[in-house]
């Protein structure tokens, strides 16, 4: 199948531009966050350079995801899904342990996290299942969809990577809400989910429980995760309206923060660019998300719509949880902010998913 040049006309340039701008904001911010200078050359490794490389690789992935007609994904949805599950299982035998969690597969040139792949697989399979039928979901169908999602999610949570595991489930949950459920299901969920939450408490690791308790009372653990929350609020707040300026963030608060280039990256941003900067960043994210809605609306065929909706939720949850944490509205969960936090696999996946959605938008007028 030759590449149809007309497709280029229909690229959603807004989405592409927003993604690149957000990514560049992130790199700029990493430059500042990791460029902390002490007179004796003590500085964090230059993450921004690595991030740039990952970004370039990501854009390559993005283009790849744009070129091939997305509808082929329908065909390979299930094989891809089972391959992912197999990888997740293999990690228990061949995985690399980093910080006490087996999440990585060593591919020689890079450490690959299959949990990132799992997000894509669940997205595609979910879109395939959900786009098949018209009716709202009743219990039977809902159970089927959730069951499919639970397999990889459970494996990821066992790694243990609660953050990624939950984000898989939340991604699927978002797609289900997008599709709509029968009012009976909705009412039941409204009653049962709050009841199930305390049960989930028993599945949490001790440190995870600790974080939730800390969130409820940050002064309880003022030198642990509570310290992070306090310090990140101080950093952001101290940016005030105009911010302290690029590279001017004293970060004195954040030098204790091991995650200032990853999970708490936006705290550095808020300190240096102030309310103006954070509002612009927030607006960029909202426009970025809105483009997904536009693409979901105009997509040709339900499969594309659900893909776009899935990608919407993929980004939405991360933004909500990460910023909620950094701004002290949520417990500390290790979820990065798309494009802003440092992260190899994550950046790659982010761009690939943007490519996927662009793909859906490009082919919205195709009749063949």
Partner 1 sequence: MSHLYDTDDKHPPKSGLVLLQTLILVLFCLFAMRLWYLQIHKGDEYARKARDNQLRKEFIFAPRGVIRDRSGDLLAVNEPAYALGLVREDCKDIDATLQQVSTWTGADFEELRDLYRKRRRRVKPFEPLILIPDLTFEQLALIEINKLRWPGLEVQVRPRRKYMYGKLLAHILGYVAEANEEEMARDQELALGDYVGKLGLELMLEDQLRGIKGLRQFEVDVNGRRLEDRILKHPRAGHEVSLAIDLGLQKLVMDWLRYEAGAVVVMDADTGQLWALASSPSYDSNDFSSGLTPEQWRKLRDDPMHPMQNRPIQSAYPPGSTFKHVVAGAGLQYGAMDPRETVYCSGSTTLGRHVFRCWKKWGHGRVDLERALVESCDVYFYKLGKKLGVDRMSEFGAAAGFGRPTGINLPHEKAGIMPTRQWKRRRFGEPWQGGDNYNMAIGQGYTLVTPLQMARFYAAMINGGKLMKPVLVKDESPVVQARLPLDGEQVGLLRKTLIETVRNARGTARRLRTRGVIVGGKTGTAQVVRLTDELKAMKDEDIPYKYRDHAWMAATAEKDGRRFAIVAMVEHGLHGGSGAGPVVKAAIDYLFTGKVRKKPQHLIDRALAAQKADGTLPKGDSNGI
Residues that bind partner 1 (CB under 8 A): 38-40, 42, 69, 71-72, 74-75, 131, 134, 177-180, 222-223, 227, 230-231, 233-241, 250, 252-253, 255-256, 270-271, 274-275, 278-279, 282-283, 285-286, 289-290, 292-293, 296-297, 299, 301-303, 305-306, 309, 312, 316, 319-320, 323-324, 327-329, 366-368
| Cβ 218 to partner 1 shortest distance, Å | 12
Whole-angstrom distance, CA of residue 332 vs CA of residue 161: 14
**Do residues 348 and 32 touch, judged by C-beta distance below 8 A?**
no
Nearest to partner 1 of 150, 320 (CB atom): 320
* Tokens representing residue 135 in the block: 């009716």
Q: Which C-beta is closer to partner 1: that of 121 or that of 131?
A: 131
Contact 271, 238 (CB under 8 A): yes
Q: How many CB atoms lie within 10 A of CB 169?
A: 19
Return the DSSP state at 250.
-
Nearer to partner 1, 154 or 222 (CB): 222
Q: How far apart are CA 26 and CA 4, in angstroms?
A: 33
Q: Give the start-end residues of each E strand in 12-76.
A: none
Smallest distance from the beta carbon of 68 to partner 1, in angstroms? 11
Cis preceding linkage at 160, omega within 30: yes
Q: How far is the CB of 236 from partner 1 (least distance, A)?
A: 5
CB of 193 to partner 1, least distance (A): 17
Q: Which two tokens stand for residue 146?
A: 């959730």
Of residues 94 and 279, the one with the C-beta less far from partner 1:
279
Q: Which CB, 22 or 292, lies closer to partner 1?
A: 292
Residue written as tokens 């990853």?
262
Q: How far is the CB of 366 from partner 1 (least distance, A)?
A: 8
């Amino acid at each position: 199948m030759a590449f149809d040049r007309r497709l280029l006309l229909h690229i959603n340039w807004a989405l592409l531009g927003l993604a690149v701008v957000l990514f560049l904001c992130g790199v700029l911010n990493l430059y500042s966050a990791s460029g902390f200078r002490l007179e004796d050359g003590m500085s964090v490794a230059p993450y921004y350079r690595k991030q740039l490389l990952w970004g370039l690789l990501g854009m390559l992935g993005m283009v790849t995801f744009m070129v091939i007609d997305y509808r082929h994904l329908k065909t390979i949805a299930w094989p891809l899904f089972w391959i992912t599950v197999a990888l997740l299982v293999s990690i228990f035998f061949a995985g690399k342990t980093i910080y006490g969690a087996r999440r990585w597969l060593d591919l020689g040139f890079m450490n690959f996290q299959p949990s990132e792949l799992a997000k894509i697989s669940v997205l595609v399979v979910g879109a395939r299942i959900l786009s098949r039928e018209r009716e709202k979901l009743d219990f039977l169908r809902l159970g089927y969809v959730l069951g499919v999602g639970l397999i990889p999610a459970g494996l990821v949570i066992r790694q243990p990577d609660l953050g990624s595991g939950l984000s898989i489930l939340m991604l699927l949950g978002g797609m289900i809400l997008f599709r709509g459920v029968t009012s009976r299901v909705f009412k039941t969920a409204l009653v049962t989910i709050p009841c199930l939450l305390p049960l989930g408490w028993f599945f949490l690791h001790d440190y995870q429980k600790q974080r939730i308790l800390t969130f409820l009372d940050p002064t309880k653990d003022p030198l642990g995760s509570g310290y992070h929350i306090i310090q990140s609020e101080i950093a952001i707040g101290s940016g005030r309206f105009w911010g302290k300026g690029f590279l001017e963030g004293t970060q004195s608060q954040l030098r204790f923060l091991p995650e200032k280039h990853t999970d708490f990256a936006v705290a550095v941003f808020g300190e240096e660019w102030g309310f103006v900067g954070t509002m612009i960043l927030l607006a960029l994210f909202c426009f970025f998300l809105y483009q997904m809605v536009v693409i979901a609306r105009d997509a040709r065929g339900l499969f594309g719509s659900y893909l776009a909706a899935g990608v919407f939720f993929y980004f939405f949850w991360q933004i909500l949880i990460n910023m909620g944490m950094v701004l002290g509205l949520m417990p500390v969960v290790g979820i990065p902010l798309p494009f802003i936090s440092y992260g190899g696999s994550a950046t790659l996946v982010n761009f690939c998913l943007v490519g996927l959605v662009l793909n859906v938008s490009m082919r919205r007028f195709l009749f063949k």
